[in-house]
A and B are shown apart, each in its own frame.
Chain A
Amino acid sequence: MRHSIRTSLVGFLLAGLVGCTGTVGGTGTGGTGTGTGNSTGTGTGNSTGTGTGNSTGTGTGNSTGTGTGGSAGTGTGGAAGTTPNPTITCAPGIPATTQLRRMMNWQYDATVRDLLGVTSVSNGTTSGPPSAMLYADFDGPMVPDAWRLYQDTAAAIAKAVMASTTQKANFISCDPAASGCLMTTITTFGRKAFRRPLTTDEVSRFVALGTGTPMGTPAEVAEATLLGFLVSPQFLMLPETGTTTDAATGAIQLSQYEIATRLSYMLWGSMPDATLSTAADMSQLGTKDQILAQAQRMIMDRTKTSTLISGFHDNWVQMNNAGQHWWKIDHDTSKFPLYNTTTSKTSFAQELDSFWSEVAYGNGGYQDLFLSTVGFVNKDNAQIYGLPATTSTTLTKTTLDANQRPGFMTRAGFLSSYSHYNETAPILRGAFVTVYMIGVDPGPPLAGATMLTAPAGNYATNRDKTDALVNMSATCMGCHTNIINPPGYVMETYDSIGKWQTTDQLGGAINGTATVNFGNGNTQTISSPLQLMQQLATIPKAQQNYAQDWVSYAYGRYPNANDQCTADAISAKIAAGTYPILTLLADLTQSDSFRLRVKATP
């Protein structure tokens, strides 16, 4: 089952979730793969699309003759069109789930790295992360090409491991020719590979690889043993096969090992470490408190957990929504010499990933996503942020101007993506804020709306030109003037690549004041981006969406009534303020559905 969700790319595995595409540039290379179903409005032909979430920016504001120049991108044009999160009523219970979740490709990489120390492998034609050799993440049963590639990849890994002294030691620490060595290896390595002790039958099967005729050399048998582990369904899947019934709910209790697996794959996308494995061995994962203690320990491993944090937030802001605008547009370097068509996008994307991680590990919460002034600067963005030029390519943490740079929407990555080639795009920026940060869906544009163009005139600012366009139709004004455009007008204080500006390219003074509708009757006059972000940080609907997205992403499930209860509890904590993201992650391990499962029927 793919994930669609407003944003969600699911971090955890369901029945074969598809990884994120994270497509940037001319090729659709896979992204973090933390999620699936970029399904959020990968959209083409969204058609008349003005203004709403998609805003391909069609029509109105955008169609005023802006050159495009090199939008890099695969991604479908416009139409994010993803409607805001569904409104679901909490219904206590445990949703039905598959028992045979297959690892996603990015999890395969992380697991092979942690299990064997392998980060790159060659198939004879190319070298790269093991997942580059694998079939795409996909729903449903195994298909021939996928199975073939699993085998090929496993064979390549096994061969490489046996040829490397360091990696080999992660698999076998004795002479395979020595008596008992392979048996010991099967037992100890198998414990890690299968994330639980092997059964007697399983041990026998691996032992049998070295018996019979023709006989293999000890080294051959050892390699075959490793290959066998790497292609085993018990390795490639994250099976949940326990049968003990929970007396209180009637659901099935996950075993200690299954809980350990859920914890590690949710938080790290990889196998349990030694501490977690020992806890499972000692049956110390039976209570919520015990699970919480492990979760908190694991969350503090920033290196391992940052992938989850960055992956989720990239998705939350629609970065993996091919219908959105992230990383699609280049800029006119004659007008914006600070923009580098070769390196800027990469730097900007890395800065945002660093931002998410720093906010989380700085004990920040949802509100800090909008208000934090932490930045990561290098040669590509230092001067955009008003800092001295640097030649360094290394992103260095710094504190940015509190008035000009609150939150992620004042970072060059967002601002340059939600712009045109050589001018700003207030409708794109405004629609993003309206739909995804406020949680208001203005609905689709009216047919023919995109046929409008601004009347000819000498406009002093892009805002003036945009106003002139939408003012041509009272119907357009209804949404654009009152809902969509105002946040974008506030953001006119940043030019097309995100540099603070007080004078428009057209010569007029920037007017960054607008009356913004924050929903539910909350309309305010906003005069600065800081004011805008301070308000956005408090929007209840947006907080609820964020919570729902986290639950869906972490658990690997579409939003549903059972999980809504967990989401509601989380959004209540967000609303109360001072709810660190890291605490949110830990709280995700406290739901009943984290320890219990229900079999899908039929």
Chain B
Amino acid sequence: MINRIHRRMFLRGVGGALVAAPYLQSVMERYAKGQTTTTPKSLVVMFTHYGCVTTKFFPAKSHGALVAGDLINSAAPLAPYVSKLLIPRGIRAMNEWTSGNTNGKNGRGQGNDPHLNVVGSYFTCQPVTPNGNDPFSFDMTTKFQAQPVGSSLDHIIAQQLAPQGTPLFMRVGNSGGSAGDNAQSGISYLKAASAAAGDKAAIYPGLGTPSQVFTALTGLFDKSQPMNPATYAATRGQRVTDMVKAHLQDFKRLDMSADDKNKVAAWEALCNSMGTVIATGSQCTSANATKLEATMTNVGKAGQGGVGKDAVTAMVTTDMDGADMYSAMAVLSVACNYNPVNFLKFPPNYVYSGLNIPEEAHALSHRLDNAGMSGSCYPNALNLLRTIDTYYATKFAKLVGMLDGIKNADGTSLLDNTATVWFQEMSDGNAHNLNNLPIVQAGSCGGYFKTGWTVNVDTANTGSATLTQGMSESQCADGTTSGMSNGVNQGTGTASTIANAPINKYFCNLMNALGVKADSTGFPAKGGTQPVTKYGYSDLTTDFCGGLGAQTGATIHNPGEFTALKP
């Protein structure tokens, strides 16, 4: 059952009501019980940096029905949910950095930076600009500031499906603080519709603390105090908004640059959206919020960092840490139908001191005490990495459990109507290889995906159950300083000739599952009526060499989704 509320009233309520209570109680307009509709579908993404020790993460078999016993080592926390998991294997992301990415035509992508290339292109499948042809250059603009030329998947989907038009993007641990992520770690990008093809998209910082999300959600799940529309308080928000619009109109009359005009137009559009009606999910209740321990007090504790503090692993309650509280916000967002696109991005360069890990995660991924790519093995590096891997798996399992723990009247759970996906920046963090990516999905998204399976979509060997688990332990295995780590030779990765099915296709799966539409070209387009068959600049990582337009024939060579992932 869907309850409909007027968006503007909801916003008004949140804006005007801040009272001390076990949870925020916003005053709401009267609501009407609406007609039953199909349960909306949602995407929940958890993203972590620097890959993992793949040999201790991937199940031994790469194709076939999964049982709990298949999920061992770092993946063990996922075992209780095995029947709801889908582990696609054989996939690669685009624009891989290698030491051979030279002269705009060699290698497997642009030569900008081992991380900037990756994160910039991961969810955009677009090259970054300006292009770098020297993989070891320290030029500021290419190594540190280049950004993709297109919007990322979260925005593409949100533009069609989210009431806000933007995703709920959360930076776990408030990484980056008031600045958000930079180009070497940002994965969410928004490009203005009016921008030229070669222009950069802007990094979308999203929200840094759970409380920033909580204040938006509480107006949705507490309906105990309907607002009397005959009161001034009920109309205050609209009056103020109308005044803001009038102020913006003053700017519109000025002779300004195109960029300035866009700013005004965007703000005005937001003001106009105040009248949009949204429908809340039937599970959008304060009871569920309480069940998730999403109280004012707990939410306020999470995301509060400081010098030397590990806000991600710091416990907020006896069984929830900071990261879990962000997950709880994502779950509430799904329950409340607040936003169908929810991203949880873990921090880059993080010191998980709460896990007794003394080195920052990026350096560790190189088995070093620094962020270089080669050198003497850091003592016990692999075990420390596995600790992080297991932690991430625990967090994902917790997220999945929260979603699965909220049941619909028909017996399905929130999880069943989501695609909850854990994406990792790369396969092996030392090798920076993007093939053989570790991806774990939970939830069938309303039956669109098969579950309880691992499916090998590698074009070289589709359906093979023996895809390699990688070579993560081939360096620094004994964890002593006698060994050497060499990330330049990609020895800890996976042979580049295998596990190269393009991630673009998986994104098409996700978009189609959620209901995103395409135009006749097959690319996502608002107002489209077709299924999505194409996404991004190219589905061949070598097409990214040299940047936008450098490779003749760069295109989507293999359109469509992975049918093998469907029931």
Q: B192 near A140 (CB under 8 angstroms)?
A: yes
Query: Residue A20 at the B interface, CB < 8 A?
Result: yes
Q: How far is the CA of A461 from the CA of B241 in the complex (A)?
A: 68
Q: A65 near B376 (CB under 8 angstroms)?
A: yes
Contact of A33 among B178, B216, B247, B308 (CB under 8 A): B178
Closest chain-A Cβ to B13's Cβ sits at a distance in Å of 10
Residues on the A chain within 8 Å of B212, using CB:
133, 135, 145, 149
Query: Residue B164 at the A interface, CB < 8 A?
Result: yes
Residues on the A chain within 8 Å of B307, using CB:
24-25, 72, 327, 345-346
Contact of A74 among B205, B348, B371 (CB under 8 A): B348
Query: Residue B368 at the A interface, CB < 8 A?
Result: yes
Closest chain-B Cβ to A43's Cβ sits at a distance in Å of 6
Closest chain-B Cβ to A564's Cβ sits at a distance in Å of 18
Instruction: Select the stretch in A97-105, A304-312, A378-386 that faces chain B.
Output: A97-105
Residues on the B chain within 8 Å of A49, using CB:
138, 371-372
Residues on the B chain within 8 Å of A123, using CB:
18, 211, 215
Q: B11 near A77 (CB under 8 angstroms)?
A: no
- Can you pick out 16 interface pairs between chain A and chain B where the beta carbons lie within 8 Å of each other? A24-B307, A29-B177, A30-B179, A39-B140, A41-B144, A44-B114, A72-B351, A75-B349, A77-B362, A78-B370, A125-B296, A125-B299, A141-B263, A221-B232, A342-B308, A602-B257
Task: Across the A-B interface, give the 5 residue pairs with the lowest CB-CB distance, nearest first.
Answer: A27-B305, A77-B371, A58-B372, A216-B232, A30-B178
Query: Residue A288 at the B interface, CB < 8 A?
Result: no
Q: B144 near A345 (CB under 8 angstroms)?
A: no
Q: A27 near B20 (CB under 8 angstroms)?
A: no
Q: B140 near A83 (CB under 8 angstroms)?
A: yes
Q: How far is the CA of A48 from the CA of B481 in the complex (A)?
A: 19
Chain B residues engaging chain A, CB cutoff 8 angstroms: 11, 14-16, 18-21, 24, 97, 99, 113-115, 135-141, 143-145, 164-166, 168, 173-180, 182-185, 190, 192, 202-212, 214-216, 218, 230-237, 239-240, 243-244, 246-248, 250-251, 254-260, 262-267, 270, 273, 296-297, 299-300, 304-312, 347-354, 358-360, 362-363, 368-376, 378-379, 432, 481, 484, 486-488
Say yes or no: A23-B177 contact (C-beta < 8 A), given A44-B185, A124-B18.
yes
Q: B176 near A28 (CB under 8 angstroms)?
A: yes
Residues on the A chain within 8 Å of B115, using CB:
44-45
Q: How far is the CA of A388 from the CA of B547 in the complex (A)?
A: 60
Q: B300 near A59 (CB under 8 angstroms)?
A: no
Chain A residues engaging chain B, CB cutoff 8 angstroms: 2, 4, 6, 15, 18-31, 33, 36, 38-50, 52-54, 56-59, 62-79, 81-83, 96, 98-100, 105-106, 122-126, 131-145, 147-149, 151-152, 154-156, 159, 201-202, 205-206, 208-209, 212, 214-217, 220-221, 224, 227-228, 231-234, 239, 241, 243, 322-323, 327-328, 330, 341-342, 345-346, 443-445, 447-448, 450-451, 453, 599-602
Q: How far is the CA of A27 from the CA of B97 in the complex (A)?
A: 28
Closest chain-B Cβ to A492's Cβ sits at a distance in Å of 20
Closest chain-B Cβ to A226's Cβ sits at a distance in Å of 10
Q: How far is the CA of A78 from the CA of B180 in the complex (A)?
A: 19
Q: How far is the CA of A599 from the CA of B484 in the complex (A)?
A: 56
Among B21, B135, B267, B311, find the residue whose CB has the most chain A CB atoms closer than 10 A. B267
Q: How far is the CA of A214 from the CA of B237 in the complex (A)?
A: 13
Residues on the B chain within 8 Å of A46, using CB:
113, 138, 143, 371-372
Residues on the A chain within 8 Å of B488, using CB:
47-48, 447-448
Considering the complex, give the chain A residue whose CB is closest to the CB of B147: A2
Residues on the A chain within 8 Å of B135, using CB:
47
Residues on the B chain within 8 Å of A601, using CB:
257
Residues on the A chain within 8 Å of B165, using CB:
144
Considering the complex, give the chain A residue whose CB is closest to the CB of B267: A142
Residues on the B chain within 8 Å of A216, using CB:
232-233, 236
Q: How far is the CA of A155 from the CA of B18 in the complex (A)?
A: 9
Q: A232 near B247 (CB under 8 angstroms)?
A: yes
Q: B349 near A74 (CB under 8 angstroms)?
A: yes
Say yes or no: A217-B232 contact (C-beta < 8 A), given A98-B259, A141-B267, A159-B18.
yes
Closest chain-A Cβ to B322's Cβ sits at a distance in Å of 9
Say yes or no: A214-B113 contact (C-beta < 8 A), given A26-B351, A29-B177, A29-B306.
no
Q: A50 near B372 (CB under 8 angstroms)?
A: yes
Considering the complex, give the chain A residue whose CB is closest to the CB of B50: A44
Given contacts A26-B310, A73-B351, 7 further A-B contacts (CB under 8 A): A24-B308, A29-B174, A49-B371, A74-B348, A100-B260, A123-B18, A145-B212
Q: How far is the CA of A159 from the CA of B235 in the complex (A)?
A: 16
Contact of B239 among A136, A208, A328 (CB under 8 A): A208
Residues on the A chain within 8 Å of B206, using CB:
136, 145
Among B164, B177, B208, B239, find the residue whose CB has the most chain A CB atoms closer than 10 A. B177
Q: A44 near B211 (CB under 8 angstroms)?
A: no
Q: B376 near A241 (CB under 8 angstroms)?
A: no
Q: How far is the CA of A177 from the CA of B249 in the complex (A)?
A: 31
Closest chain-B Cβ to A20's Cβ sits at a distance in Å of 6
Q: B309 near A26 (CB under 8 angstroms)?
A: yes
Q: How far is the CA of A41 from the CA of B143 in the complex (A)?
A: 8
Contact of A124 among B166, B209, B259, B296 (CB under 8 A): B296
Residues on the B chain within 8 Å of A64, using CB:
376
Residues on the B chain within 8 Å of A341, using CB:
308
Q: A21 near B349 (CB under 8 angstroms)?
A: no
Closest chain-A Cβ to B185's Cβ sits at a distance in Å of 7
Residues on the B chain within 8 Å of A141, using CB:
192, 262-263, 265-267
Q: B138 near A54 (CB under 8 angstroms)?
A: yes
Q: B175 near A28 (CB under 8 angstroms)?
A: yes
Closest chain-A Cβ to B329's Cβ sits at a distance in Å of 11
Contact of B235 among A135, A214, A322 (CB under 8 A): A214
Q: A138 near B202 (CB under 8 angstroms)?
A: yes
Residues on the B chain within 8 Å of A2, using CB:
145
Residues on the B chain within 8 Å of A450, using CB:
372-375
Residues on the A chain within 8 Å of B137, using CB:
444
Contact of B138 among A52, A143, A233 (CB under 8 A): A52
Q: A27 near B370 (CB under 8 angstroms)?
A: no
Q: How far is the CA of A77 from the CA of B370 in the complex (A)?
A: 6
Contact of A142 among B255, B263, B484 (CB under 8 A): B263
Q: A40 near B240 (CB under 8 angstroms)?
A: no
Say yes or no: A136-B178 contact (C-beta < 8 A), given A76-B362, A125-B299.
yes
Residues on the A chain within 8 Å of B239, using CB:
208-209, 212, 224
Q: How far is the CA of A82 from the CA of B399 in the complex (A)?
A: 39
Say yes or no: A26-B15 contact (C-beta < 8 A), given A44-B184, A451-B374.
no
Considering the complex, give the chain B residue whose CB is closest to the CB of A132: B209
Residues on the B chain within 8 Å of A212, using CB:
239
Q: How far is the CA of A453 from the CA of B173 in the complex (A)?
A: 36
Among A96, A125, A444, find the residue whose CB has the most chain B CB atoms closer than 10 A. A125
Residues on the B chain within 8 Å of A209, using CB:
239-240, 243
Q: B300 near A62 (CB under 8 angstroms)?
A: no
Say yes or no: A26-B140 contact (C-beta < 8 A), given A21-B178, A152-B15, A228-B243.
no
Q: How far is the CA of A83 from the CA of B134 in the complex (A)?
A: 15
Say yes or no: A239-B251 contact (C-beta < 8 A), given A74-B348, A135-B205.
yes
Q: How far is the CA of A258 from the CA of B27 in the complex (A)?
A: 40
Considering the complex, give the chain B residue whose CB is closest to the CB of A194: B247
Q: B372 near A125 (CB under 8 angstroms)?
A: no
Q: How far is the CA of A54 from the CA of B136 in the complex (A)?
A: 12
Q: How far is the CA of A445 from the CA of B488 in the complex (A)?
A: 14
Residues on the A chain within 8 Å of B255, using CB:
243, 599
Among A28, A52, A221, find the residue whose CB has the most chain B CB atoms closer than 10 A. A28
Q: How far is the CA of A540 from the CA of B180 in the complex (A)?
A: 35
Among A75, A156, A201, find the residue whose CB has the most chain B CB atoms closer than 10 A. A75
Q: How far is the CA of A43 from the CA of B20 in the complex (A)?
A: 43
Q: A206 near B243 (CB under 8 angstroms)?
A: yes
Q: B486 near A58 (CB under 8 angstroms)?
A: no
Residues on the B chain within 8 Å of A21, using CB:
176-179
Closest chain-B Cβ to A257's Cβ sits at a distance in Å of 15
Q: How far is the CA of A49 from the CA of B143 in the complex (A)?
A: 13
Residues on the B chain within 8 Å of A48, using CB:
136, 372-374, 488
Q: How far is the CA of A459 from the CA of B299 in the complex (A)?
A: 54
Q: A58 near B368 (CB under 8 angstroms)?
A: yes
